[in-house]
Amino acid sequence: MSGADGSGSTAPEPSAGKGKFRRLLGHAIPVSAAIGIFLIWEVGVRTFGVPNYIAPAPSDVGRTLIEQWPLLLRNFWPTFYESIMGFLFGNMAAILIAVAFVHSRTIERAFFPIAVFVNTIPILAIAPILVLIFGAGLTAKVVIAALICFFPTLVNMVRGLQAVSPETLELARILSASKSEVFWKIRLPSSLPFLFSALKIAATTCVIGAIVGEWVGANLGLGALIIDSTFNFRSSLLYATVFLSSGLSVMLFALVTIAEKLVVRW
């Protein structure tokens, strides 16, 4: 995971200095694009005199981020907790069910259509139902976050567990490997790249699930804060909350990416 990895893939470098420069340039381009957009936004809002409650300037949002940090943080932790729990439960369930599907065609045939059906229900439509069932507490949000993670992981994990070449399975047979040996020594490791692709999706969607859950009914959490600040025309706070929730997604995504680099070394 050292920086050398990233530069090594681009091109053979004539000198280390030049490679470093290129890498810096590689970072500089997206960063300056982002800064450019912020600048245009700031200047645009100021020159056209857009009222703060319609579109706050980035500087206002930045100030709110700092001034309201305790409030934001108080609302950050519940969402963080719900996202993580949803991520863990949703993926765990998906992995176990994928294993069951690969183990038995009958189970797959019975339950895969149901999984597809559940996946087609918009999360916004199912969220109130889950809040009705589980109440306005933590459980409903965790379930919603878990549900949104579930399907991509299920599909990817099934594919990953099946992504073993027929010849490798013949090798296993010649070695008289048992079903569990094939699973632990061959199927599970070969599914890991697929699993991590799904976990990266789940890392961002679980936050969406938690926030949607909080919209339906919560006093605390980034989702609740979004609703609250919108209705009170506290637009700077709304924007700051949105940035924080996206920051949460990015953080979870980065954690999964680091884990992937550590686990999938091949």
Partner 1 sequence: MGADDPAGTARDYAAVLSNAVVRFGSFTALQDISLELEQGAFWTILGPSGCGKSTMLRLVSDLVPAASGEVSILGKSTEEARLAREFAFVFQDATLLPWRTALKNVELPLEIGRRRNIKIPVSDRSPRELLALVGLQGREDALPRELSGGMRQRVAIARALVCQPKLLLMDEPFGALDEMTRDHLNLQLLQIWAETGVTILFVTHSIPEAVFLGQKVLMLGANPGRLREIVDIDIPSPRAIKVRDTQEFTKYTAYLRRLLEAD
Between 67 and 170, name the residue whose CB sits nearer to partner 1: 170
Between 59 and 162, name the residue whose CB sits nearer to partner 1: 162
- The reply on whether position 261 binds partner 1 by CB under 8 A is no
Site for partner 1 in 150-209 (CB under 8 A): 165, 167-168, 170-178, 181, 185-186, 189-190, 192
Smallest distance from the beta carbon of 260 to partner 1, in angstroms?
A: 13
- The reply on whether position 219 binds partner 1 by CB under 8 A is no
Between 161 and 210, name the residue whose CB sits nearer to partner 1: 161
Between 117 and 266, name the residue whose CB sits nearer to partner 1: 266
In angstroms, what CA-CA distances link 69 with 61, 72, 74, 210?
11, 5, 8, 20
Taking phi over 0 as left and psi of -120 to 50 as alpha, with beta for the rest, 101 belongs to alpha
Dist. CA 145–CA 87, nearest whole Å:
7
CA proximity to 116, closest of 131, 129, 101, 103: 101
Smallest distance from the beta carbon of 175 to partner 1, in angstroms?
A: 4
Dist. CA 212–CA 131, nearest whole Å:
11
**Residues in contact with partner 1, total (CB under 8 A)?**
21
Dist. CA 237–CA 196, nearest whole Å:
34
Q: Which residues bind partner 1 (CB under 8 A)?
A: 165, 167-168, 170-178, 181, 185-186, 189-190, 192, 264-266
